[in-house]
Amino acid sequence: MDVFLWEQHCCLPLRPTARIEDLARYPLGSYLCVNVGYSGESKADSLALLHQFRGQAQDDPRFRLVDTVADIGAPDVIGLAFDLEDSAPLEGDLDNVDLFYGLGVRSLLPTYNHANAAGCGCLDTVDTGLTGYGKDLVRKLNEVGMFADGSHCSRRTGLDISTHTSEPMIYSHSNFAALHEHPRNIDDEQARACAATGGVIGINGVGIFLGFNEPAARLQRLAAMADQIRYGVDLLGIDHIGIGSDYSFDGEQFNDEIQENPAAFSAAYTQWGPLQWTPPEDLLGKSDLPGLGDLLADRGFTPTERAAVFGGNFARIAAQVWRT
């Protein structure tokens, strides 16, 4: 599919052996937001990964490090920026938001699955929402120009982000619980609250969040992504849905971690067997499958609407939120 892709969340291994050259499986012209840490990483860990990935990008002509939206969209390079999937790497110091922003981090979610100093996670049984520190964090993200992200957060924490943000928030890689019940998926109230801020929800391609985790269910996963997008657009309007496939180049590492630390993920992750993802080739119709764009066309999406979902919506709010 010949379309600009804004991939709001994907993952390389969080290890020194990781190589950004793997990201070249996405087409030239794309924009990718790559994870550099979550609850297990310290500030030093995430900074080391950032310097590693930035250095590799500077040495590879296929990639361009992104500072502003104007750096995105050139047809001969892949734009590259970064995200944090937990506030732990800030180590309680909000000034570190400025530090990470200066190194290309453009999105941060307060909590990853479980409660921390900022708020509660989606796997917590008690949900008290954002803490005072978490509210200060959202204000700091607004001030610096970084997306406040509700993915992996608890329901109330996500709603509190929408209440306390003065800028559009995002759910970078979250699906709708109305179509498949899972604690990582969001309900319609969360979705509407995000849209009310002007925000965008990135639909992911992870099997357990779509309801199709069998290794052979590649087409079913793509079809479920298309159904999630159709549902979100019908619920919120075309301006509020995007792509955050959550494709994990570190899939084997992540599945090993789930098996070795089941308490950190709960049965909602462990009972389905090894997680399956939707790779870039399937997403873009570069494999033996029809591709997400074709499936959206089958569901009545016009070329203009498909372009909004694949890239235009996230690009629009980035131009509003990110600071020059």
pLDDT at 235 over 80: yes
CATH 2.10.260.10 fits 6-321, yes or no: no
pLDDT at 2 over 80: no
How many helices, marked H, and strands, marked E, lie in the chain? 13, 10
The tens digit of pLDDT for each residue in 39-90 reads 999 999 999 999 999 999 999 999 999 999 999 999 999 999 999 999 999 9
Which of these, 172, 167, 162, lies nearest to 192 by C-alpha position? Answer: 162
Structure token digits, residue 249? 């180049």
Is the pTM higher than 0.75? The answer reads: yes
Task: Give the domain ranges of the chain.
Answer: 6-321
Are 54 and 101 in contact, with CB atoms under 8 Å apart? no
Q: Which pLDDT score is estimated for 263?
A: 77
Torsion angle of C-alpha atoms 305, 187, 214, 251, degrees rounded to 10: 80
Q: For residue 252, what pLDDT band results from cuts at 50, 70 and 90?
A: confident
The tens digit of pLDDT for each residue in 161-217 reads 999 999 999 999 999 999 999 999 999 999 999 999 999 999 999 999 999 999 999
β-strand pairing of 241-243 with 105-108: unpaired
Beta pairing partners, 83: 35, 107
